[in-house]
Amino acid sequence: MFAVYAESFSSDEPLTGLVVGERPDPTVPDGWTTVTVKAAALNHHDLWSLRGVGLKGEALPMILGCDAAGIDEAGNEVVVHAVISDPSWTGDETLDPRRSLLSERHQGTFADRVAVPRANVVPKPASLSFEEAACLPTAWLTAYRMLFVQGDLKAGDTVLVQGAGGGVATALITLARAGGLRVLATSRDEGKRAKALELGAHEVYESGARLPLKVDAVMETVGRATWTHSVRALRPGGSIVVSGTTSGPKLDDAELTRIFFLQLRVTGSTMGTRGELASLVNLLDATGVRPLIDRTLPMEEAADGFAAMAAGELFGKVVLTR
């Protein structure tokens, strides 16, 4: 079948290991099903995979892609949940130490078909297009859990979103606004700051700029480049929810003194549960809120989407269609 896959790793030139070609049809273990992919979305995770982060050499060649929306074996329109937990695991699957994401141990979604455990499909409402639904399983689910589960934020709270242009960041701005929060956002780029305002941010600032107020929580996916600013932006007792380190995980200063003196909390967040994905789908269906799509490309042109993401040119999601 047609597939977009990683053949090798390069930390400096990740696109050299990307192949648009053919791979065998998926093998379908007991209790699993196949989904015919109509749309899939690109995540920074796919770029990390090509850099050799989170993917082992012995797993190559590996079909990339965590996100998909498509049609299941019974003809239903579905969204694929990307977190694969051990069959014996019960409870929150993001806490399963043996969990993986599609495209880490099991073949990913940038293909004609993807195999997933039967429990990993969620009904897609007719109100969402396949392209919109394909944005939800990774970036949007991560944003949902960061804000409303790990961040425990409520209507009326004030939140700062760092690095406004990213897939997770645009989801954070949109969902925070839909949840009744006051939303501040930063970006390195003036054009992206203007777009963040259009998307629903109340106020935007250059990365690192002094803010006129302290916030209840910061949503962090950038890491090293924004960490100090994130810690300094918080009111006493506030919290940082961190789910990524795009600019690198090695901090110049972890700001530990400020963290203990102001009694700040730092909380990790990774993906979300199947139940949270179903709630996110319901939220979009009920509110009319939709993922911001930067561009839609036929899957054959996936390399162009990867290149735009590597260059940091995006504002919103890249969707690949079949």
Ligand X SMILES: NC(=O)c1ccc[n+]([C@@H]2O[C@H](COP(=O)([O-])OP(=O)(O)OC[C@H]3O[C@@H](n4cnc5c(N)ncnc54)[C@H](OP(=O)(O)O)[C@@H]3O)[C@@H](O)[C@H]2O)c1
CA distances, 141 to each of 56, 163, 221 (Å): 25, 18, 14
Count of chain residues binding ligand X (CB under 6 A)? 33
Tokens for 295, please give them.
């561009």
Closer CB to ligand X, residue 181 or residue 292?
Answer: 292
Q: Which stretch binds ligand X (CB under 6 A): 21-29, 72-80, 237-245, 258-266?
A: 237-245
CA angle 211, 311, 244 (to 5 degrees): 55
Q: Are strands 182-187 and 203-206 parallel, antiparallel or unpaired?
A: parallel
Using an 8 Å Cβ cutoff, are 299 and 38 in contact?
Answer: no
**312 is an interface residue for ligand X by CB under 6 A:** yes
Distance separating alpha carbons of residues 235 and 232, to the nearest angstrom: 8
Closer CB to ligand X, residue 188 or residue 258?
Answer: 188
**44 is an interface residue for ligand X by CB under 6 A:** yes
Return the closest-CA partner of residue 63 out of 35, 34, 102.
102
Using an 8 Å Cβ cutoff, are 107 and 35 in contact?
Answer: no
Closer CB to ligand X, residue 65 or residue 167?
Answer: 167
Instruction: Return the sign of the alpha-carbon dihedral for residues 58, 60, 62, 64.
Output: positive
Q: Which stretch binds ligand X (CB under 6 A): 68-76, 233-241, 242-250, 295-303?
A: 242-250
Contact pick of 200, 243, 274, 305 for ligand X (by CB under 6 A): 243
Contact pick of 309, 319, 320, 322 for ligand X (by CB under 6 A): 309
**Residues 271-290 interacting with ligand X (rule: CB under 6 A):** 271
Contact pick of 100, 207, 296, 321 for ligand X (by CB under 6 A): 207
Contact pick of 225, 297, 307, 308 for ligand X (by CB under 6 A): 225
User: Shortest distance, CB of residue 297 to ligand X, whole angstroms?
Assistant: 15
**321 is an interface residue for ligand X by CB under 6 A:** no
Using an 8 Å Cβ cutoff, are 282 and 178 in contact?
Answer: no
> Which uninterrupted H or E stretch holds 310?
helix 302-310
**45 is an interface residue for ligand X by CB under 6 A:** yes
Q: Which stretch binds ligand X (CB under 6 A): 18-26, 43-51, 121-129, 295-303?
A: 43-51
**246 is an interface residue for ligand X by CB under 6 A:** yes
**247 is an interface residue for ligand X by CB under 6 A:** yes
Show Cβ contacts of residue 115 under 8 Å, excluding neighbours closer than 6 positions.
Answer: 26, 27, 28, 29, 32, 33, 34, 106, 107
Question: Using CB under 6 A as the criterion, what x/- string covers residues 9-38 for binding ligand X?
Answer: ------------------------------
Question: Using CB under 6 A as the criterion, what x/- string covers residues 94-113 for binding ligand X?
Answer: --------------------
Distance separating alpha carbons of residues 166 and 245, to the nearest angstrom: 12
The residue with tokens 């006051």 is 182
Question: Using CB under 6 A as the criterion, what x/- string covers residues 133-172 for binding ligand X?
Answer: -----xx--x--------------------xxxxxxx---
At residue 176, what are phi and psi to the nearest 5 degrees?
-60, -40
Q: Are strands 158-161 and 182-187 parallel, antiparallel or unpaired?
A: parallel
User: Which parts of this chain interact with ligand X (CB under 6 A)?
Assistant: 43-45, 48, 138-139, 142, 163-169, 187-189, 192, 207, 221-222, 225-226, 243-247, 270-271, 309, 312, 314
